[in-house]
Amino acid sequence: MKIYTIIPVAILMLVLASCQDTKKNDYSNQSEVKKTGTYTATNHPGKKLMEAKCYLCHNPTADHDNRIAPPMVAVKSHYKTDDITKEEFANAIWHFVEKPTKEKSKMRGAVRRFNLMPYQPFEKADIKQISDYMYDFKIDEPEWFKDHIEEESKGKLQYRNDGKDVDGTDNVDTGNAYAKAESKTHTEIGMEYAFSTKKELGKNLMGTIQKKGTLEAVKFCNKQAYPITDSMAVAQNASIRRVSDKPRNVENQANAKELGIIEKFKKAIANNEKYEPVTTIEDGTVKFYAPITTNSMCLQCHGSPKKDIKTEVLTALTNLYPEDKATGYGVNEIRGIWSITYKQ
């Protein structure tokens, strides 16, 4: 849930669909995983969904001056009031996320600073789970946030991060208890590799596009995307690639197996079906494939020439990528996949 952010054009198509392994432990459908019983701060599906879908832009660990969107606790503080019910809270957040506009915004200051979030095809059930988690539990927040919100609003906005913590008590810091509380599946490890790489790419590229614009972001991506990805692969002892059937850079051409997986994802979207990343194990090696989908901001570099892509941007793309095939996309289309390999 990327509320009130500007999403970069060349990396924003990195928004991943939720992940699952061969046993179908997917993130996007966590609402179906546990329909009964009492959730805790460590097993609530909304926590994983928020980390997977929101933290690229709204990460609580980003510092104040260099962040690219407000932390999720800011969203909670703007939307949660003393008399709002959990259902009303979830509906209010969905009302904005379903089709973001400035008129719907409750965070005008964030819109002025970070710009408006582009439309993305989120599932209402996922947003509800995230909202439910935020409503019931204390969520991670930057150390500076409480003082910041009181100072910025001059006392007009109440700091809100009430809720239960991992042990069931109220208003205790949650830390990283969830990551410590359970072992990770092969898919969760693959997803972690993809998200950490996406985060590093996104942090750098988003800063460029916000400060210097789309044209400079294209140049940045051309020079820095590979070195950043390679450094993350080395750090995580894995092979990390972003591949496509219509690559911008010929080095990102998908192989036969990857083309088959891309085609399956495309058919699922065309048929309005759920699609889930693929994880396989072959001779002790884990292979993880997750879709890369487009949103409205991606079209500035990957949409239709002249219609979506500005002339100066198209010229730069043509000069930098003479064999570019990565245009002509619409919203919510499969741009390519993450192809990650690591030892079991």
Higher pLDDT, 2 or 92: 92
H-run or E-run covering 288: strand 285-293
H-run or E-run covering 15: strand 15-16
**Confidence check: pLDDT of 205 > 80:** no
Distances (CA, A) of 315 to 211, 258, 298, 306: 21, 30, 17, 11
**Confidence check: pLDDT of 56 > 50:** yes
Q: For the chain, what percent of residues have pLDDT higher than 90?
A: 44
Task: State the amino acid at position 135 in one-letter form.
Answer: Y
* pLDDT single digits (tens) 247-264: 999 999 999 999 999 999
Q: Is residue 289 very low, low, confident or very high in pLDDT (cuts 50, 70, 90)?
A: very high
What's this model's pTM, rounded to 2 decimal places?
0.62
Q: Which of 30-44, 197-211, 272-286 has the highest mean pLDDT?
A: 272-286
In this prediction, residue 19 carries a pLDDT of 34
Q: Largest alpha-carbon pair distance within the chain?
A: 61
In this prediction, residue 125 carries a pLDDT of 94
How far is the C-alpha of 330 from the C-alpha of 216, rounded, in Å? 23
Rg, C-alpha atoms of the chain: 20
Going by C-alpha positions, the residue among 294, 263, 335 that lies closest to residue 121 is 294
Task: Enter the tokens of residue 318.
Answer: 């043509």
* pLDDT single digits (tens) 308-331: 999 999 999 999 999 999 999 998
User: Is residue 191 helix, strand or coil?
Assistant: helix
In this prediction, residue 24 carries a pLDDT of 35
User: Is residue 297 helix, strand or coil?
Assistant: helix
What is the chain's percent helix, strand, coil content, to nearest 5? 45, 10, 45
How far is the C-alpha of 168 from the C-alpha of 153, rounded, in Å? 31
Q: What is the mean pLDDT of residues 192-214?
A: 78
Least confident of 48-52, 140-144, 204-208: 204-208
In this prediction, residue 6 carries a pLDDT of 34
User: Is residue 242 helix, strand or coil?
Assistant: strand
In this prediction, residue 38 carries a pLDDT of 78
* pLDDT single digits (tens) 4-19: 333 333 333 333 333 3
Inter-residue contact 291 to 264 (CB < 8 Å)? no
Apex 130 CA angle, 58 and 36, nearest 5:
155
Least confident of 33-42, 81-90, 105-114, 137-146: 33-42
Going by C-alpha positions, the residue among 94, 1, 12 that lies closest to residue 294 is 12
Higher pLDDT, 67 or 324: 324
Higher pLDDT, 240 or 297: 240
Q: What is the mean pLDDT of residues 260-283?
A: 91
In this prediction, residue 74 carries a pLDDT of 94
Average model confidence (pLDDT) for the chain?
81
How far is the C-alpha of 238 from the C-alpha of 285, rounded, in Å? 10
